[in-house]
Amino acid sequence: MLSPAKMSMRRQLLLGILLPVLLLVGLNAWSLYEEALSASDVAYDRSLLASAKTISEQLDVEGYDELATIRALVPYAATEAFEADNQSRLYYKVSHLNGAVVSGFADMPTWKGQIPAKPAYAALVDFYNDRYQNEDVRVATLLQPVVSEKGRAMAVIQVAETLELRQSLARELLVGTLWRQALLLAIIALVVVGVVQRATQPVRELSEHLENRSEYDLAPLSVADAPQEIQPLIQATNHVMQKLHSLLAQQKGFVRDAAHQLRTPLTVLKLQVQSAQRGDLNSEQALHDIGLTIDRATQLVNQMLALAKVEQLSVSAQPVVSDFSEVAREVALELAPLMAERNLDFEIITEPSKVQGPDWMLRELTRNVLDNAIRHSPLQGRLKLSIASCDDRVMFNLRDEGPGLSADLQARLFQPFSAGDTRHGSGLGLSICLGIVQSLQGEIKLTNDPMPGANSGLNCEVQFKLAA
């Protein structure tokens, strides 16, 4: 059997509507049959009781109570009527309260009821179902006081009837009703199928429209003519296509800018090789220049890969918690040779600060921010890095004595290949930082804020939510 997830919406609607209707029709048919049997019992029980009373009128008695003798004066014609081969057969038996048979079918089952606490010689009628001659029968038992000039006694008169006639009547009523219910069910099914087909038509049209679309067509779908129930689906689809359009545009721009940026070091490398081949420079100087160019190209490629990795990052099902202060100290140690090369006065103050995110992202963030500050700091300048926890936030702060930010640079600060002096870098560092901070649901801010005693400087402030 198909699961609800694999079943079509039309089939689910049809089954969801028609199955309960079919179940109700079945229950109604069963209930109707039982009611028909009950009604036939009421009607035919009256006939059985009338027969029993007729027989009771033909009884005579001599003696009193237990010593009485009951005689049945049932005429032969009445006996023939009971023995007639009709659609249903009738049987009767007259007996004493002690079970002694007076007349009729002696092998009929004896009445097993009890006389209720009523005034003496009050009549009692009992109707019940029983088995006789391997057939189901309906029995009417009449406890009838018999009184004459010669005595009095209590007679038990039983009249039994087979159920063919009753069941036949119930079946006729049932069949007649089932035909009408079947017709009603067929009409309901046709109406439901038509309504479901019409209701699901917009979904099929939407599916066909999307299937026939070009793979490059990300234009929004029209919502005006769509039913109200389908509009959220169309709006969600349009939202996804808008995201895809933005992503594709971003990727195209990234590839275009990356190709442009890679072209420059490759061109420089080609010229340097040609110059070395002509002998314009000695071999040592030529190899040194080629090595620097290769280093810059390698850095560019690594940062482009890092940026692509950050942009395609998906949130892990099991978040990782890292110590930001520990990661920052490790990165500072790695970049210590660069600081020593520029003779920078570096100060670092940290305290344990847990951030929800992988350590490689925090490491990449710290490396790019710190590398940018080192490159733009003057010789013998000062750098100060601090990480502290305040309330539920982790505060990362890095100050340098660099030239700061111009108004033009602030407008395009986090755009790939546009930030800073790209002659000494790729221009991707701050874009990578922004992507990491956004992925970890943090905030980053760069402002001109010189250190005390300095004429210029840049302050980089990053905030994350403190992890538990």
∠ CA 156-158-164, nearest 5°, is 170
Contact criterion met (CB below 8 Å) for 327 and 359: yes
What is the rounded average pLDDT for all residues in the chain? 78
Q: pLDDT tens digit string along 424-441?
A: 444 566 777 887 888 888
Distance from C-alpha of 304 to C-alpha of 312, rounded to nearest angstrom: 12
DSSP 226: S
Q: Determine the pLDDT at residue 424.
A: 44
What backbone phi and psi angles, to 5 degrees, belong to 217?
A: -90, 105
Q: Determine the pLDDT at residue 431.
A: 74
Higher pLDDT, 296 or 391: 391
Distance from C-alpha of 375 to C-alpha of 400, rounded to nearest angstrom: 10
- Looking only at the bridges linking them, the beta strands covering 101-104 and 135-148 are unpaired
Q: Which CATH architecture has domain 231-311?
A: Orthogonal Bundle (1.10)
Q: Determine the pLDDT at residue 254.
A: 67
DSSP 98: T
- Is residue 109's pLDDT more than 80? yes
Question: Taking Cα atoms as reference points, which of 111, 98, 89 lies closest to residue 157?
Answer: 111
Distance from C-alpha of 254 to C-alpha of 248, rounded to nearest angstrom: 10
Higher pLDDT, 141 or 231: 141
Q: Residue 282 — pLDDT band, cuts 50, 70, 90? A: confident
- Residue with the two structure tokens 């919502």: 223
Q: Determine the pLDDT at residue 421.
A: 47
Q: Residue 223 — pLDDT band, cuts 50, 70, 90? A: low
Question: Taking Cα atoms as reference points, which of 457, 460, 344 lies closest to residue 404?
Answer: 457
Question: Domain spanning 321-465: which superfamily?
Answer: Histidine kinase-like ATPase, C-terminal domain (3.30.565.10)
Q: Determine the pLDDT at residue 253.
A: 67
Over range 109-115, report the average pLDDT. Answer: 77
Higher pLDDT, 333 or 122: 333
Q: Determine the pLDDT at residue 360.
A: 82
Higher pLDDT, 84 or 124: 124
- Return left, alpha or beta for 234; rule: phi > 0 is left, psi -120 to 50 is alpha, else beta: alpha
Question: pTM higher than 0.85 for the full model?
Answer: no
Distance from C-alpha of 462 to C-alpha of 442, rounded to nearest angstrom: 7
For residue 28, give every residue at least 6 positions away whose Cβ sits within 8 Å of its Cβ, in sequence order, or none. Answer: 181
∠ CA 303-305-306, nearest 5°, is 60
Q: pLDDT tens digit string along 231-255?
A: 788 888 888 888 888 777 767 766 7
Q: pLDDT tens digit string along 79-95?
A: 454 544 456 788 888 88
Domain boundaries, the chain: 1-212, 231-311, 321-465
Contact criterion met (CB below 8 Å) for 55 and 92: yes
- Is residue 262's pLDDT more than 50? yes
